[in-house]
Amino acid sequence: MSDKLSELLAGLSPSDVSIDSLGRIVITDPELAKQFRELSDGSAMLVPNQSCNHGCGG
């Protein structure tokens, strides 16, 4: 999967993506969006890092 993901990401151009109001990357090219969906099998969503990297919870 990582080889295909790397290939898809390397092929992206600024016109293929936008950032939504929540800071998520939106693939605007329908064919590329389909390829990303197929790669993830619909079981995952590409979202910003939401882990606790900077001193969470006191």
pLDDT in tens, 9-23: 898 899 999 999 999
pTM of the model: 0.56
Asked if pLDDT for residue 36 goes beyond 80, the answer is: yes
Task: Write out the residue range of the structural domain in which residue 16 sits.
Answer: 2-40
In a domain, 31, yes or no: yes
In a domain, 52, yes or no: no
Do residues 51 and 45 make contact, with C-beta atoms less than 8 angstroms apart? no
Name the band, by pLDDT with cuts 50, 70 and 90, for residue 28. very high
In a domain, 13, yes or no: yes
Name the band, by pLDDT with cuts 50, 70 and 90, for residue 25. confident
- Mutual angle of helices 2-10 and 30-40, in 10-degree steps: 160
In a domain, 47, yes or no: no
